[in-house]
Structure 1
Amino acid sequence: MADGTQVQVHSVTEDTELHCWYDRESQAQSVYVELGLSDGILLASYNGIVGSGMPASVYHGIDRRWSIPPLTADGANKLLAEIAPLAQRVLDGSDVEWDGRNHVGRILTDDAQAAYDAISELCEAIEPEDDAVLQVWSMDTIGEGWTAEEAGITAATTDEELKQIEVRLTEEFRDGMGFSAVVIDGLDDYLRELRDDLAAQAAENEDDEDEDED
């Protein structure tokens, strides 16, 4: 059995912390709750590996994972708090053993297995429309979204101002759709393209004026 290992909950601090969408990928990274059988760390995170790969510690059952939707900070922390006493029961009835080739995590008691199954049920019960779930949209889905004029963008808009505009538009979209939290992937690139197109057009017009003067 685990030698007195205690659960250590690592809290989520930002609403978008569990969201990651890598460039050129068709969807966001999967999200999970993880319990380390050797160190007792209980956390929520996204999978940093593209595709179906996993760390060796997960493959060998030392770190146990349960899939969840991307949650807001409050939603994730409430879930972790609910899981914590169950996770302690898992730790109390589990151990990391040498199987002759690798160290592997094993659940050794019926109570630990029951707690493990209860964690699975909690994670599987989260519905996509729950307020705790971060709503993920992309500009590919939204389409044009906003014109430069609607967004308040000009050829002279700075990168810092674009970040502020991105925050404002995301908040407006969130409130308009009735979500508690939302992220719009690709919005930053979309706004930058609007600004750059205006800047290129302004430069072209300036060149035309110079030619007319000559």
Structure 2
Amino acid sequence: EVLEGRRGLKRVPVTEISQSYLGLSVFMNLDALNKMLEESPLVSGAHISYDDARTDALYKEIKRTPEISGIAIQSASLAKFRETVAKNIYIMTTVYIGLSLIIAFGVVYNSARIQLSERAREFASLRVLGFTRGEVSRVLLTELGLLVALSIPLGWLIGYGFAWAVIRGFENDLYRVPFIIENGTYATASFIVLASAAISAAIVRRRIDRLDMVRALKTRE
């Protein structure tokens, strides 16, 4: 649909679809466009490349040319855009990592504490039978490590699906965000979970070392 000049509807075949992440762009041969609109050759803009060492000379020539109404430096615009996006992403990532660290620590620690409370009598019995503190701790921490190891791949799958849903939810006519997950993302997520598990294990190990065997053995099943 032509909205300027000679308005009307035009039927144009689409020969190829290009991937674009900002706005809605359509590309067409200039001669074919002028013929379709029944207009004389007209240029509204141009893409040029120049030597950075001669930027000042370029600006002077542009100022001397009244036909040029303005200029946009793609490198400067792109750098500013990336700076703004990186700043926003950095803030969001910091918040998300902090929340994930708290949640991961809470889940792992609570799971270990529940197991310790339920099996305190069993651990006390092992200590009475001659098991060392390290051996008793190893029983619980091995189970905890196994659960963490099994949960990490499952977390990858859930996170992948959640990220895909978020990206699709943000898409609109103004911009689209490509769905890309790097291997470093999985490594970071795994490190957060493992770090939380290590901190929880250290706290639980200390509680096992301070376990009151007499009180635990008096507790009925």
TM-score by length of 2: 0.29
Please state which structure has a larger fraction of its residues in strand: 1
- Larger Cα-atom Rg: 2
Structure of higher RCO (CA pairs closer than 8 Å, 6+ residues apart) = 2
Please state which structure has a larger fraction of its residues in helix: 2
TM-score by length of 1: 0.29
